[in-house]
Structure 1
Amino acid sequence: MQKTTFSIENTLSNLQIEALNEMQQASLEANKTSNEVVLLADTGSGKTLAFLLPVTQLLEKKPVTQALIIVPSRELALQIELVFKRMGTGFKITCCYGGHKRETEENNLLQAPELIVGTPGRLADHIRRGNITTTHIASLVLDEFDKSLEQGFEDEMSFIIQSLPAVKKRILTSATEAVEVPPFVGLQEPVKLNFLTGEKSPALAVQQVRSDDRDKSDTLFRLICALGNRSTIIFCNQREFVEEVSASLKDKGIVNVFYHGAMEQQERDSALCKFRNGSSNVLVTTDLAARGLDIPNIRYIIHYQLPPNQESFTHRNGRTARMDASGTAILILAPHEYLPEYITPPPATIELPASPVLPQKPVWTTLFVGAGKKDKVNKVDIVGFLANKGQLKKEDIGLIEVKDFFSFVAIRKSHASHTITLIKNEKIKNKKVKIDIAK
């Protein structure tokens, strides 16, 4: 069967990347000579492309699944799907994860994609139901395999791998060296590429703020005021704290969104979309967002609650100072709290202004559109609809994200009320669709 016209040069052009970094180049070379590669590299260093390129080189343009990528979270699965689509390879990818309808994925799997990415539980479920044909899967990637083991997916991963009779290539990636690879993975003599620096990014600055009281909410508010209208993630250790902190900031006039594992998928999508498109510059979250989220230009990481361990500290900080960008991680310490011993040297202390000034509110707001890919609605349709029916100029329309059954679109907040009035009785592609400010 003919291979598709895939080239690394075209892929880099599509991704707007000038050249591969040292780790990505080493992965390509190792995968040419070995079918077992373990890649250890820091968070944010470009591991996704480091395994997608060699896997894609082995794909053929035919309607059978030839490669499987197992990841620990839906966010990481969606991120890999996004990167793969941007690569423009011509191959089909299907993303499988819990938290939304299985039927949607079953329909996507009817015509077998060349590549599948997903979480262990949902992939195992599809294999048991016969929705995924495993007989031609020759390439297996376990991305962030340490996290999958840590989260207790060992049984599902073992079942999946035992269900793959034709696997020839195995690629494992991790941002930590500490985990032993279980025998069921089937590694014999892997080539290990270790690009872990053991150091924080040279572009990452670490600072601390001292709070006068145990309840650090006022210190957090004053800190955000001091930082200004910049993209910021605030990390807490428990879901209940996430919502409390978010509500406290909202009461004080700070626009923010929150994100944690107990939310419905649409709520998660909405929160992340608002953060990505600038409708909110502040995201309050748990360590769920410490991996798998690749949102560019995050300037600040705030450890509102101290990370439980060094690994958590590292992964949280990995959301900023990615690739060549700079970023700052800030720890807030109450009077009874001490700096963790693994943070050396002691970070510089920030002195906050006595009189906080609220940062400027975001100029964007997010519309929810009740139609998506399955309704044959795309970004061009949405732009045309908002321009023609909503009287918006191109510069008044921001980032658009089209999901399976709904979409999110950023528009200038100053035009939102008028636009919604104009479009409330209009149709997209001859269909009446719910459109409102995203919740």
Structure 2
Amino acid sequence: MIHAVLQWQMKKKPTPALSNTGASPGETRTEAGAESGVLPDEIGIEGEVLPSEAGVKTGAPPTAVSDQVLPFCDDDAGEGPSSLIREKAIPKQNEDKEEKLDEEETEKLKEKLGGKIAICKAHPKRPLLGLVLTPTRELAVQVKQHIDAVAKFTGIKTAILVGGMSAQKQQRMLNRQPEIVVATPGRLWELIKEKHPHLSNLRQLRCLVVDEADRMVEKGHFAELSQLLEMLSDSQYNPKRQTLIFSATLTLVHQAPARILHKKHVKKIDKTAKLDLLVQKIGMRGKPKVIDLTRNEATVESLTETKIHCETDEKDLYLYYFLMQYPGRTLVFANSISCIKRLSGLLKVLDIMPLTLHACMHQKQRLRNLEQFARLEDCVLLATDVAARGLDIPKVQHVIHYQVPRTSEIYVHRSGRTARATNEGLSLMLIGPEDVINFKKIYKTLKKDEDIPLFPVQTKYMDAVKVKRKIKTLVLMREGIVLCLHLAVRLWQKTDHQEERRRQKQMKVLKKELRHLLSQPLFKEDLKTKYPTHPHRRRDLMHICVVWS
């Protein structure tokens, strides 16, 4: 995409308008500035090059085009591949006029330069050439950061359009005419409907990228995307546009439920049919090229996959056991926001301060928690599937599926947050009675040759975990009872000071006992174990579990 933008910039560079009259000594210096890539914005009223840019004339980087004179009437306003000149700081109140020269200043500048160089009053408009669509806001932020890093020395401008942030600020970013926009479908469609000038003509779009495409085109999700794709395939279609779709599960197919398959005109879908359906929904014309880099198992080889079978009310025990036994950067997934909130309160009582990430949080807080999780080495992030796709968080050691995902695609994307870039990682599923059906579906779809091994648990330490959990439950129950009593007192204007003091005393005793238990180490250092992480050691997990039990 960046290559396409650079090619477009090079083709659109016009020739400079220079007069044929002789140049005086003062004019020679000005023309030398033109040959060095100094633009009119960097030339003062007296025809002097600004000190901050003086080094550009003599120290041109290797990528600069040295044998081509840069025009003053530049189509790319100094943003092309051969210009590495820093932009001038423009006051906020003049943002709408940031690419125009004042008429009086232009006349003065012409007089000082002797009328030898023709200067345009306004730079031509830069169209939108690259568009990237992502399903989540966090992924859009990450993609923009990567594009900015790659295009750092090209002068290409980028903008991000996501919900949960100021629409006015994003409109001002579009006023700068960025060549590449990274967006979520909702906010992008909102600005298109408002007829923002930079989004009014998408026929010049050279590259359209749809990331996590299988998720984006799912029925019931991203209604704005279908309208956007319909517009790009009809009224705004560009035959020269390149369309790319990405996902780790483009060719992964899970069968529909039996009740649907029994209906008429419902056929079993395979990889080819799924890709054809995606291509049709995205609006790609012709036969696309398919590049498949996935393994048959859909997960990376350096990932250790394990499970724990337990009752639903025991999941809290095993989660706390794992977090205490194996500290590190741990990502815990649940299927609902209510479960995330409950786990957050539970772990806080047990002196584990987790971070949370779900759709009901403010966007700034979501990004702040994500940055903090990536910065701290020993940290727990409780998240819904909003964090399952695409996020590249460094050195995530463990992924825990507190609730088994509903589809194999979600399982692959969740597990893909760890064991990245040849690093080792662990994926642990806590399987309750209600999760067995989903687990069997995932196991069948991924075509695992062997059963996923059991995770080794030292049962001798589970009694201590249960005691802490019992006291924690009593504390939470007591606090709830006290809160209800306070509400009842306010409603009925009745109070029993003696009974309330007795309950408060009991609460203090329980909290003191819980603090004492939390201060004691749950595991002895010499008995602390390391779970197997290398693939060839997975076969030993079953044997280790039998020995410990």
1:173 corresponds to 2:246: yes
1:288 corresponds to 2:386: yes
Distance 1:279 1:319 in 2: 15
1:110 to 132, 155, 175: 175
Q: Which has the larger radius of gyration?
A: 2
Distance 2:300 2:175 in 1: 44
> Where do 1:19-418 residues align within 5 Å?
63-87=126-150, 88=152, 89-131=154-196, 132-133=199-200, 134-150=202-218, 151-153=221-223, 154-161=225-232, 162=234, 164-166=236-238, 168-175=241-248, 176-177=250-251, 178-179=274-275, 180=277, 181-182=279-280, 185-199=283-297, 200-211=299-310, 214-228=313-327, 230-278=328-376, 281-334=379-432, 337-338=435-436, 339-343=439-443, 344=448, 345-353=450-458, 354-355=460-461
**Which amino acid is 2:376 matched to?**
G
**Which amino acid is 1:93 matched to?**
T
- TM-superposed CA distance for 1:78, in Å, is 1.0
1:350-371 CA distances to partner (integer Å, 9 max, x unpaired)?
233433799xxxxxxxxxxxxx
1:57-92 CA distances to partner (integer Å, 9 max, x unpaired)?
x99988332111122221221111011112124311
TM-score by length of 2: 0.52
Pick closer, same or farther for the CA change 1:191–1:242 going to 2, 3 Å: same
Instruction: Quote the RMSD (CA, aligned, Å).
Output: 2.6
- TM-superposed CA distance for 1:123, in Å, is 1.3
**Which amino acid is 1:202 matched to?**
E
Identity of aligned residues (%): 26
Distance 1:2 1:157 in 2: 26
Give the match's secondary structure for 2:292: strand
Pick closer, same or farther for the CA change 1:59–1:118 going to 2, 3 Å: farther
Distance 2:82 2:388 in 1: 34
**Which amino acid is 1:311 matched to?**
E
Gaps of 5+ in 1: 5-57, 359-439
TM-score by length of 1: 0.64
- TM-superposed CA distance for 1:128, in Å, is 2.2
**Which amino acid is 2:212 matched to?**
E
Distance 1:165 1:105 in 2: 25
Give the match's secondary structure for 1:104: helix
Pick closer, same or farther for the CA change 1:2–1:116 going to 2, 3 Å: closer
- TM-superposed CA distance for 1:328, in Å, is 0.6
Distance 1:341 1:195 in 2: 23
1:92-151 CA distances to partner (integer Å, 9 max, x unpaired)?
110111111111110001010011110112112222222224243222112222111112
Q: Is the 8 A contact 2:399 2:415 kept in 1?
A: yes
Q: Is the 8 A contact 2:334 2:340 kept in 1?
A: yes
Tell me the number of residue pairs that the alignment of Structure 1 and Structure 2 aligns: 304
**Which amino acid is 2:461 matched to?**
S
Q: Is the 8 A contact 1:255 1:280 kept in 2?
A: no
Q: Which residue of 1 aligns with 2:483?
A: none
**Which amino acid is 1:64 matched to?**
P
Gaps of 5+ in 2: 1-7, 12-79, 84-124, 252-273, 466-549
**Which amino acid is 2:214 matched to?**
D
Q: Is the 8 A contact 2:307 2:431 kept in 1?
A: yes
Distance 1:135 1:209 in 2: 53
Pick closer, same or farther for the CA change 1:209–1:155 going to 2, 3 Å: same
Q: Which residue of 1 aligns with 2:31?
A: none
Pick closer, same or farther for the CA change 1:60–1:244 going to 2, 3 Å: farther
**Which amino acid is 2:136 matched to?**
S
Give the match's secondary structure for 2:246: strand
Distance 1:157 1:173 in 2: 18
**Which amino acid is 1:143 matched to?**
D
- TM-superposed CA distance for 1:159, in Å, is 4.4
Higher relative contact order (CA 8 A, sep 6+): 1
Give the match's secondary structure for 2:159: strand
Structure that is richer in strand per residue? 1
